[in-house]
């Protein structure tokens, strides 16, 4: 009986969509950038970078075990210095957190607990809003537009004296959309004078639009803007839990009081190495771009509409209830994204390795054309 790996190697492909020669990795690339073999269930559900951590990062972690007896404070301060230099801000503007999720949660707690309002698009990444609600915050949800992007005009209209935070996930999760650069800059300039704008840039590295601005520029100007970054995505370190916030000194000082989890010495040292491992960074971007192109081709062939993505996932109209498509694809060995109300007939699929994408393509062809 053929294994999935044997099938991948021998198949010439379904409709020309299967593994292309450019997607085949050399032995050295596999050693450096693909540490795991195929798993029984392919996980394309959480926007992880399956190629990480890189070999260099793994070696840095091993070397750091001897420091496992130490508290992470000094190590985190060193990482903050490195990040401050990278982004051109003061080290005091950097807050190292246990993944960017902690940064989102403590920001919501700091500024919107006990009745404060957060304005957010819907659907989007929920970490800030879900946690803040538990501490008494209210959420003013603004549905995304027909293009599945943020409706910044409507968000601006809803800003009031009750508004403490405006949450932007840009590029947005789960839709993969990107706010036009000028519109984003103009919006932040106006909105940050009325409330704090939180810009979640977890997927910023995947943006291919030339010279697209990070809202770190607004922080440097002294605006009431907070930027969130993570090592979970392009650096392939989701399981190590390292993220950080960037804000002007007064705002950073307020947030820092509520930091709970921090990170650990091994993860912090891994992050330092990841920042200088440019070969892995470029490899991840190239593989993600190729995987997206193959998924686009599949969706075109199946006549399923999708949003052009600026991330490492694609949001597409499945024409099936995601609560039915999920189990059907799981039976094919692929775990896809969860439901994102109110878009129950839309699916979010992460890019995965080229082999994983091939298995996803095969499963989709069987579900839709079998």
Place of tokens 């599945």: 148
Q: What is the pLDDT along the chain (370 residues), one digit of tens a residue?
A: 445 555 454 444 555 566 554 556 777 777 777 777 888 999 999 999 999 999 999 999 999 999 999 999 999 999 999 999 999 999 999 999 999 999 999 999 999 999 999 999 999 999 999 999 999 999 999 999 999 999 999 999 999 999 999 999 999 999 999 999 999 999 999 999 999 999 999 999 999 999 999 999 999 999 999 999 999 999 999 999 999 999 999 999 999 998 877 789 999 999 999 999 999 999 999 999 999 999 999 999 999 999 999 999 999 999 999 999 999 999 999 999 999 999 999 999 999 999 999 999 999 999 999 7
Domain locations in the chain as residue ranges: 4-54+279-369, 56-276
The tokens describing 45, both together, are 């559900």
* CATH fold of 56-276: 3.40.640
What is the pTM (predicted TM-score) of this model? 0.92
* Contact in structure between 350 and 44 (CB atoms under 8 Å): yes
Alpha-carbon distance values, 148 to 143, 207, 233, 322 (Å): 9, 17, 22, 17
The Cα 205–Cα 311 span in angstroms is 8
* CATH fold of 4-54+279-369: 3.90.1150
Residue 269: strand, helix, or coil:
helix
CA angle 349, 354, 355 (to 5 degrees): 100
* Contact in structure between 90 and 295 (CB atoms under 8 Å): no
């Amino acid at each position: 009986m053929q294994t999935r790996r044997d099938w991948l190697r021998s198949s010439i492909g379904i409709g020309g969509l299967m593994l292309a020669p450019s997607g085949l990795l050399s032995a050295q690339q596999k050693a450096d950038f693909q540490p795991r073999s195929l798993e029984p269930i392919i996980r394309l559900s959480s926007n992880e970078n399956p190629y990480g951590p890189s070999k260099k990062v793994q070696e840095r972690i091993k070397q750091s075990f001897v420091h496992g007896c130490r508290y992470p404070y000094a190590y985190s301060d060193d990482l903050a210095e490195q990040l401050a230099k990278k982004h051109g801000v003061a080290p005091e503007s950097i807050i190292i957190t246990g993944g960017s999720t902690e940064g989102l949660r403590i920001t919501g707690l700091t500024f919107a607990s006990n009745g404060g309002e957060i304005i957010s698009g819907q659907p989007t990444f929920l970490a800030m809003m879900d946690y803040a609600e538990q501490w008494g915050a209210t959420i003013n949800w603004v549905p995304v537009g027909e293009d599945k992007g943020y409706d910044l005009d409507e968000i601006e209209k809803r800003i009031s004296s009750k508004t403490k935070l405006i949450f932007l996930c840009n590029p947005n999760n789960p839709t993969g959309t990107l706010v036009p650069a000028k519109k984003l800059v103009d919006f932040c300039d106006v909105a940050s004078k009325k409330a704090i704008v939180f810009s979640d840039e977890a997927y910023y590295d995947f943006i291919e639009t030339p010279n697209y601005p990070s809202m770190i520029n607004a922080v440097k100007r002294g605006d009431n803007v907070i930027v969130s970054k993570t090592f979970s995505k392009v650096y392939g370190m989701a399981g190590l839990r390292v993220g950080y916030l960037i804000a002007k000194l007064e705002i950073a000082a307020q947030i820092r009081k509520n930091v709970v989890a921090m990170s650990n010495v091994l993860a912090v040292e891994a992050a330092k190495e990841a920042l200088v491992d440019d070969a892995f960074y470029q490899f991840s971007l190239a593989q993600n771009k190729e995987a997206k192109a193959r998924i686009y081709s599949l969706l075109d062939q199946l006549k399923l509409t999708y949003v052009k993505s600026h991330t490492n996932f694609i949001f597409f109209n499945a024409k099936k209830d995601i609560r039915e498509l999920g189990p059907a694809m799981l039976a094919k060995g692929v775990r896809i994204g969860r439901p994102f109300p109110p878009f129950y007939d839309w699916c979010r699929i992460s890019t995965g390795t080229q082999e994983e994408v091939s298995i996803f393509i095969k499963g989709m062809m069987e579900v839709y054309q079998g």
